[in-house]
């Protein structure tokens, strides 16, 4: 009988030692480890939006915008067109190229407090030729998980129908308006791969005229206008042929592709 009691006591003591102050202290400390804190943070979703046709919006993108707590966008009025079309009702926060660090800090504060946020641009994939990369960098510095939700991109959309080689290409974004244009033109002319850049309508013809002085007469060019919209148009040929095709009253948004 004494042996049985002794065994019971030993078992009880052994069981209770798992709740000793030392072990409790270890468990409490674990709650403050970095990986546990990351779990309590919100996520930042980089959501691609249509570049023209509102139907070019994925189910996953729509579901993501419905799930997050706040949506950061370039223009709240422009974003509302898409969101109303898909009946997405979420608080909007403007975030564009002129937004200062205060806006970045505000979004990071949301994320650090456990709220999920989505970043969208006026058209296409955020972070490509827009200030989205600044927010992504800051989110990563703060240990926030950044998740891309893929979709439309003007660069890829234009390239796949350009007729130019797409296995390798150089993307330059928007060309500089004044300083550095000659350097860029030389870089384009020396490239061994297709070069892609964006250009505004009021500078398009001037840019092509300047660019032809750096290219061979046989250099191939493709210019895409109003992608995915009603008046979607491609101009293809040599640099001289394309210049002749471009109308005088240029409107819309353009993607220029060059094979030097």
What are 157-186's pLDDT values in tens digits? 999 999 999 999 999 999 988 888 999 999
45 lies in a domain? yes
Of 114, 149, 184, the domain-final residue: 149
Same domain, 241 and 221: yes
* pLDDT tens digits, 70-105: 999 999 999 999 999 999 999 999 987 666 788 899
Same domain for 115 and 177? no
Residue 24 lies in a domain: no
Q: Are strands 92-94 and 70-73 parallel, antiparallel or unpaired?
A: parallel
Residues 170 and 141 placed together within one structural domain of the fold: no
Q: What is the pLDDT of residues 105-161, one digit of tens each?
A: 999 999 999 999 999 999 999 988 888 899 999 999 999 999 999 999 999 999 999
Query: Does 159 lie in the same domain as 131?
Result: no
**Is residue 26 scored above 70 in pLDDT?**
no
User: 72: domain range?
Assistant: 37-149
User: Rounded mean pLDDT of 184-204?
Assistant: 95
* 132/166 same-domain check: no
Same domain? For 86 and 167 the reply is no
In a domain, 29, yes or no: no
Among 130, 149, 168, the domain-final residue is 149
Residue 225 lies in a domain: yes
Mean pLDDT, the chain, integer: 86
pLDDT range class, residue 11, cuts 50, 70, 90: very low
Q: Are residues 118 and 188 in the same domain?
A: no
Q: Residue 3: how many CB atoms within 10 A of its CB? A: 7
**Contact yes or no for 128/33 (Cβ under 8 A):** no
CATH code at position 180: 3.30.950.10
Q: Which two tokens stand for residue 105?
A: 């800090």
Within this chain, do residues 42 and 95 fall inside the same structural domain, yes or no? yes
| Strand positions, DSSP E, the chain | 43-47, 70-73, 92-94, 117-119, 145-149, 169-174, 194-199, 220-225, 233-238, 254-259
Structure tokens at 210: 């300047």
Of residues 130 and 259, more confidence is placed in 259
**16 occurs within a structural domain:** no
Span 203-227, mean pLDDT? 95
Same-domain status, 142 and 198? no
- Residue 65 placed within a domain: yes
Q: What is the pLDDT of residue 39?
A: 56
Q: Say if residues 196 and 169 touch (Cβ distance below 8 Å).
A: yes
Q: Is residue 240 part of a domain?
A: yes
161 and 219, same domain (yes or no): yes
How many structural domains compose the chain? Answer: 2
- Please indicate, yes or no, if residue 15 is contained in any of the structural domains: no
Q: Coil, strand or helix: which one is 117?
A: strand
Co-location of 69 and 138 in the same domain: yes
1 pLDDT band, cuts 50/70/90, is very low
CATH number of the domain encompassing residue 133 = 3.40.1010.10
pLDDT of residue 251: 83
- The domain boundary residue, chosen from 132, 149, 166: 149
Do 163 and 249 lie in one domain? The reply is yes
Report field, pTM of the whole predicted structure over 0.85: no
């Amino acid at each position: 009988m004494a042996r049985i009691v002794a065994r019971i006591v030993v078992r009880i003591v052994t069981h209770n030692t798992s709740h000793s102050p030392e072990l409790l202290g270890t468990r409490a400390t674990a709650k403050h480890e970095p990986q546990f804190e990351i779990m309590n943070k919100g996520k930042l979703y980089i959501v691609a939006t249509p570049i023209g046709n509102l139907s070019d919006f994925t189910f996953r993108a729509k579901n993501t915008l419905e799930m997050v707590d706040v949506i950061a966008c370039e223009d709240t009025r422009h974003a509302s067109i898409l969101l109303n079309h898909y009946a997405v009702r979420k608080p909007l926060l403007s975030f564009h190229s002129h937004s200062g660090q205060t806006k970045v800090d505000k979004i990071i504060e949301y994320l650090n407090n456990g709220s999920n946020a989505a970043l969208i641009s006026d058209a296409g994939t955020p972070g490509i030729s827009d200030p989205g990369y600044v927010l992504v960098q800051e989110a990563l510095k703060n240990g926030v998980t950044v998740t891309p939700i893929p979709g439309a991109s003007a660069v890829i959309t234009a390239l796949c129908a350009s007729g130019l080689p797409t296995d390798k290409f150089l993307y330059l974004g928007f060309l500089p308006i004044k300083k550095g244009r000659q350097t860029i033109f030389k870089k384009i002319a020396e490239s061994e791969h297709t070069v892609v850049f964006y250009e505004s309508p009021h500078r398009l013809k001037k840019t092509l005229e300047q660019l032809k002085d750096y290219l061979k007469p046989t250099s191939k060019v493709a210019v895409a206008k109003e992608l995915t919209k009603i008046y979607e148009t491609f101009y293809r040929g040599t640099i001289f042929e394309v210049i002749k095709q471009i109308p005088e009253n240029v409107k819309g948004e353009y993607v220029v592709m060059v094979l030097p």
